[in-house]
Structure 1
Amino acid sequence: MFPPAAEPVASLILSLITLSSLVRASEAAGSVFVYAGCSPSKFQPNSPYQSNLNSLFTSIAFSASRSAYSSYTTGAGDSTIYGLYQCRNDMSSADCSACVQSAVGQLSLVCAESYAASLQLDSCYVRYSNDNFLGRPDTSLEYAKCSASTTDDAEFFRRRDDVLGGLQAGTGFRVSGSGTVEGQALCLGDLSAADCTACLAEALAKLKNACGPAVAADVYLAQCYARYWASGYYLHDSKEHSEDDVGRTVAIAVGALAGFSLVVVILSFLIKACKLTTGGGDHVGAWTKIIC
């Protein structure tokens, strides 16, 4: 938590990071919106929880240029916040940093003043909560998508099953391919090898059971994800993989609000600074899910 005199500066830094990352969100590598989840319970603006969240977001934004994963505990008592971010292990430091900053910015916009929230972009993930979720196994379903395009080709299913088997057997960021089918999977960095394997087993089972003959499918659980696709699918299926309605709405809102918000942020900072110069847990319930 920031000391009172530093709070306006910290808020300004976070707001500028948020706005600059939002403006270039559509340009950042791997920054395609996948889903977001926001708790319905809200904290009060300018509260200790707000200060701790600002501190958490600032730490995440700066740390992402040095590491693909990190977790944090910020604050104490009812204002304690637990958070983490994760990038795909095949990303450069610059791309990871850009993706995470974009995720932090979008999360601040989509889930403003929520006690807990998570946001998944194509190549990175950010989550925070007032409940300690770090390192605790959780295979609850967050998001799933099956392609409308399907097939009854037995060879495709054989190749798909080979790919899914390869994803479960690997370690770290897992990539697998067989013939015309490709796939990838990733667990959060705070999971043990055994818990990662168990999480991916659940995700892969959901892929097959929920999506059946789909030529592409994505399943995101709370602590891991797995996906497969026919080679070239994401390049050529413009109907299903053009920017989704939620992602488009976020992009439009960002473009419309960024300039205005920057002026408001600077004015708010100046007002707070002038006041200083002159001397002047709620817990998460059901989640409201936003998906594409």
Structure 2
Amino acid sequence: MGRRPPAKVSPSLLALLLFLAAGDLVSPAADYMTLVYKGCASQSFVDPTGVYSQALSALFGSLVSQSTKAKFYQTTSGTGQTSITGLFQCRGDLSASDCYSCVSGLPILSDKLCGRTIAARVQLYGCYMLYQVAGFADVSGMEMLYKTCGGSNIAGSGFEEKRDTAFSVLESGVVNGHGFYAGSYQSVYMLGQCEGDVGDSDCGECVKTAVQKSQVECGSAISGQVYLHKCFISYSYYPNGVPQRQTSSPYSSSPYTSSSSSGEGGGSGSSTGRTVAIILGGAAGVGFLVIFLLFAKGLTKKKDDFY
């Protein structure tokens, strides 16, 4: 009986396998790709001539290109009443490549989550992007956009005292760090950041307000996040000590999923995040189905050729 010849893999199938394998290495996205919340204006722009769409596309292109060399950038596209102002910001501890990876997906995500509304903000753990058309009402820098709180306090752990001291460290840290601070105090990990155009003094006041809102809104919860328009804070309590490789957000590492905890402003982000995750998961499933069918077809063909 002749020896079975080695199976041949078609170039197209090999390319598909390599593509999905590479995607599999990248797809367990770092936590910075996790969706926190979205904020969409209720009104969409009327655009019979396409002028708004052109301005928005140009704005997105400019923001994404700048994310390769800056962690904060603000610009305006278009002219007069049809102009659109927008900005992006990356978390202070992200590398240049991670910042770009985070920001580059935001235009598509914004369109999927909000459509062509006259203003939108999409917040991931690692970055956010927002835009608004000329004439859109400004939002107060201290307005709370979203909050989420974790589980209850561990009785007798001294958590609240440690948390409040950690908050004091955080408030001074963002001022000394010119808008960004990440660190731990005893068993509490905290992070805070202000929008890039906010001065040190105003940043300190914004974070202080976020801290106060966190104490009221989250009470004795051992973790929480509060996002104001111009700053945000997050904290987590670890009874056994902060993990050595702790990052800024000890939450789900799934790409483009949001926290399931309740929130303000962007509270609907939970179901939206699951929807986006389902879309991405479905696409991956289709890819693997294609591989299976092609592989099965290839085996059948080889069997017919051999016999």
TM-score of the pair, normalised by structure 2: 0.69
How far 1:182 sits from its partner (Å)? 0.7
Q: CA deviation at 1:176?
A: 3.0
CA 1:129–1:257 in 2, change beyond 3 Å: closer, same or farther? Answer: farther
**Partner residue in 2 for 1:185:** 192
Q: Distance in 1 between matches of 2:215 and 2:192?
A: 14
What residue is the counterpart of 1:48 in the other structure?
51
Q: Map Cα deviations across residues 214-262 of structure 1 (whole Å, 9 max, x no partner).
A: 0001000011001110135975999x9689543221122345589x9xx
The aligned counterpart of 2:210 is 203
Deviates more, 1:125-134 or 1:98-107: 125-134
* Contact kept? 2:153, 2:159, Cα under 8 Å: no
Match among 201, 210, 223 for residue 230 of structure 2: 223
2:228 aligned partner, one-letter code: L
Q: Specify the SS of the correspondent of 1:30.
A: helix
Q: Please say if residues 188 and 224 of structure 1, whose CA atoms lie closer than 8 Å, have aligned partners that are also in contact.
A: yes
**1:1-292 to 2 correspondence within 5 Å?**
27=29, 30-44=32-46, 47-131=50-134, 138-153=141-156, 155-170=158-173, 171=177, 172-231=179-238, 244-254=270-280
Deviations 1:101-132 (A, max 9, x none): 12222112111111100010011010000147
Q: Secondary structure at the match of 2:45?
A: coil
Cα offset, 1:76, TM superposition: 1.1
* Count of aligned residue pairs for this structure pair: 237
- Identity between Structure 1 and Structure 2 (%): 31
AA of the residue aligned to 1:44: V
Q: Report the Cα distance in structure 2 between the residues aligned to 1:131 and 1:79, rounded to whole angstroms.
A: 6
Contact kept? 1:35, 1:143, Cα under 8 Å: yes
Partner of 2:21: none
The structure-2 alpha-carbon separation of the partners of 1:39 and 1:236, relative to structure 1 and needing over 3 Å to count, comes to closer
- Aligned-partner Cα distance in 2 for 1:214–1:237: 18
Please, which runs of 5 or more residues in structure 1 have no aligned partner?
1-23, 261-292
Q: Tell me the CA shift for residue 148 of structure 1.
A: 2.8
Higher RCO, 1 vs 2 (CA within 8 Å, ≥6 residues apart): 1
- 2 CA distance for matches of 1:133 and 1:185? 28
Aligned-residue RMSD, C-alpha: 3.2
CA 1:30–1:88: 2 relative to 1, 3 Å = same
Separation (CA, whole Å) in 2 of partners of 1:210 and 1:105: 32
The question of whether the paired residues in 1 share the 8 Å contact of 2:80 and 2:134 is answered with no
1:32 is displaced (CA, Å) by 0.3
Letter in structure 1 aligned against 2:274? R
Specify whether residues 256 and 109 from structure 1 end up closer, same or farther in structure 2 by C-alpha distance, changes over 3 A only.
Answer: farther
Structure 1 residues 64, 230: CA separation in 2 closer, same or farther (over 3 Å shift)?
same
Cα distance in 2, alignment partners of residues 157 and 168 from structure 1? 16
SS across alignment from 2:275: helix
Alpha-carbon distance between aligned partners in 2 of 1:159 and 1:133, rounded to the nearest angstrom = 42
In 2: Cα distance, 1:215 partner to 1:126 partner: 29
Once the two structures are superposed, residues 7-46 of structure 1 have per-residue CA deviations (whole angstroms, 9 ceiling, x without a partner) of: xxxxxxxxxxxxxxxxx77636511000001111112355
Deviations 1:170-195 (A, max 9, x none): 23211231111110000000112222
Residues 31-87 of structure 1, C-alpha deviation per residue, up to 9 Å, x if partnerless? Answer: 100000111111235521111000010111111111111001111111111100000
Residues 198, 157 of structure 1: alpha-carbon distance in 2 compared, 3 angstrom cutoff? same
Aligned-pair CA distance for 1:89: 1.4
